[in-house]
């Protein structure tokens, strides 16, 4: 087993400088080619500490708040998708066809989507709302149940009105 090289005053001064720059124990160890334990011993002798629990906790809280903001923004975008797709259920819909012996392209406008296409649109709406609620659940108690029952009621009414084809 190789003997550890002795710690010099230059090593101590370098640890003090790097610590003052905010570098961590492992980073200093890598820069100086020393073990983390050696750096800890040098720092202890200099009265320095690498304990940064408060900084780590604050950084974690900031990261969690940022993620919560991003989830809320994504939930809003999903709600926008749900509303946009729901509007299409009773709007004119353009259908197209490509075929025939001459490979003709043809389109026609229907007053509303077919029942199958409405069902597909409502599936997109349901998925978008469900994911939105998972990303940003309502704050009030029972809110998710109320929204879920509202959607169930809406889908039941649409199915009754348009039939389940």
- Confidence at 163, pLDDT banded by 50, 70, 90: low
Instruction: Give the Cβ contact number of residue 25 at 10 Å.
Output: 21
- Better pLDDT: 160 or 77: 77
Give the per-residue pLDDT at 142. 52
Look-up of token digits 């077919």 = 114
The pLDDT tens digits for 39-50 are 999 999 999 988
Rounded to whole angstroms, the Cα distance separating 126 from 97 reads 28
pTM: 0.52
- Pick one of 3.30.420, 1.10.10, 1.10.3470, 1.10.287 as the CATH number of 9-51: 1.10.10
Give the per-residue pLDDT at 164. 54
Give the per-residue pLDDT at 147. 59
Rounded to whole angstroms, the Cα distance separating 50 from 22 reads 9
User: Does an H or E element contain 105, and which?
Assistant: strand 104-110
The pLDDT tens digits for 101-160 are 888 889 999 999 999 999 999 999 999 999 999 999 887 655 555 556 777 777 777 777
Length of the chain: 165
Domain boundaries, the chain: 9-51, 64-162
> What residues pair up with 106 in beta bridges, in sequence order?
97
Query: Is the pLDDT score of 89 beyond 70?
Result: yes
Rounded to whole angstroms, the Cα distance separating 121 from 132 reads 16
């Amino acid at each position: 087993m190789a003997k550890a090289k002795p710690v010099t005053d230059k090593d101590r001064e370098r640890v003090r400088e790097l610590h003052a720059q905010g570098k961590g124990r492992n980073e200093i160890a890598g820069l100086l080619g020393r073990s983390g334990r050696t750096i800890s011993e040098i720092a202890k002798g200099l009265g320095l500490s690498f304990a940064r629990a408060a900084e780590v906790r604050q950084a974690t809280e900031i990261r969690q708040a940022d993620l919560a903001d991003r989830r809320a923004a994504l939930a809003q975008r999903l709600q926008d998708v749900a509303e946009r797709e729901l509007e299409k259920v009773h709007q004119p819909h353009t259908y197209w066809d490509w075929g025939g012996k001459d490979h003709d392209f043809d389109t026609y406008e229907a007053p509303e989507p077919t029942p199958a296409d409405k069902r597909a649109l409502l599936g997109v709406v349901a998925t978008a709302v469900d994911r939105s609620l998972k990303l940003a659940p309502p704050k009030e108690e029972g809110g998710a149940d109320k929204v879920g029952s509202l959607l169930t009621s809406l889908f039941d009414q649409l199915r009754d009105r348009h039939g389940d084809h």
